[in-house]
Structure 1
Amino acid sequence: MAEAIYNLAIETSSRRGGVTLGRGDQVIESVDLGAQQRHAVALMPAIEDVCARHAVTPPAIGEIYVSVGPGSFTGLRIGITTAKTLAHVTGAKLVAVPTLDVVVENAPVEFGHVAVCLAAKRGQCFTGLYQRSEDRWQRVIDPTLMTPAQLVEQAPRPLAVVGDNLPPFDWPGDVECLDPSLAEPDSAVMWRLGRSAAKADRFVEAMALVPLYIRLPEAEEVWQARQSQ
């Protein structure tokens, strides 16, 4: 039997961020980057430290799982660039993990339908809708920008909503807004989803690994608007 390879998950779509090191189907250690530190400063030292603690050298890492958003514009770029660089150096295979798929795993399983909503500008949310089926969450509506009113109009009932910093909205009685802390993606959960995708051979080439942004950064929106005038 072939020796189990090491695998690494990189989560930088949120303020907290984190990395998880595993081997085969087992998590070895998860480390939070910390909300008070910039990912550009904290990410590589965290990866180096967790690998050093377990005597894992870069060539031993065979798979890298990375969050692709939506989430922090800067954080996503840092995480994906780091994943691509490590893959180039180590020869590791890459897996893209959507952030909303990670967040919905925090929701209690008793809810049949859950919407994950990450606040965006202009009263909108980047939203994905999921239903519980065969002991797992299945995506019903792919990540898209919509207002809470549009979500309420389209989503089945009863519905639970996982989100933080949501725009003000009078949610109907058959919609339950869960604790905002559940909207924080966890690198260990992301590792589990990434490992499942890797076992199904759902790898991506480095050139195809790009962030799924909520929208263009405001500066780029302004620039594009000016160019179109």
Structure 2
Amino acid sequence: MKEVVLDTETTGLSVREGHRIVEIGCIELDNLIPTKNTFHCYLNPERKVSEKALEVHGYTDEFLSTQKKFSDVVKDFLNFIENKKLVIHNAEFDLSHLNNELALLGKEKLDNKNVVDTLALARDKFPGSPTSLDALCKRYHVDNSKRTQHTALIDCDLLAKVYINLLGQKEPTLNFKNEDNEKTIIDSDNINQYYKKIIKPTEKEAKLHKEYLNKTLKKNFF
């Protein structure tokens, strides 16, 4: 099953105050394994960035004024997320901004039924504990040292690792194949293949091992 880990950065908190999206980042997961498919863009919000938002992501009005508008990327964005479940931390925030951008273009809004909110997952799993992305990275020993400021793709990468942990999975994931006992380890950065063949002990080795166990187990170590 394919999913998309998604994050946005904006000019401010509320769409009611006219705030817009300045960055979208997406990382595709295939059965919880990050693929090489990503979607990323900076956007011209056609308005000024609030001081608080500037402190969070650092994108200046001058930089954003040279970027594409949402209308220029909406087709590619919708194609990227089509028929995939969205994984978002604090989904209400990102969806409100994405749906606002879509509404401004007269397009259909995204359905929150096809969204996994990792903030809700974390609150259910750790009631009363901090559930920010940074707090969850700390809990799961995910290195977030690159997150000096909020940027969509870095946040997506961190969230993908946190999401896997929230579901009780472990990285890297093993894909077992029937051909000659081949195992493939896949992580978000690279793919390493290695092969292990089953080596059966000889009769002499098996006998010596059995004798060793019988001799060892008779000892009292406690």
TM-score by length of 2: 0.28
Greater strand share, 1 or 2?
Answer: 1
Larger fraction in helix: 2
Higher relative contact order (CA 8 A, sep 6+): 1
The structure with the largest alpha-carbon Rg is 2
TM-score (norm 1): 0.28
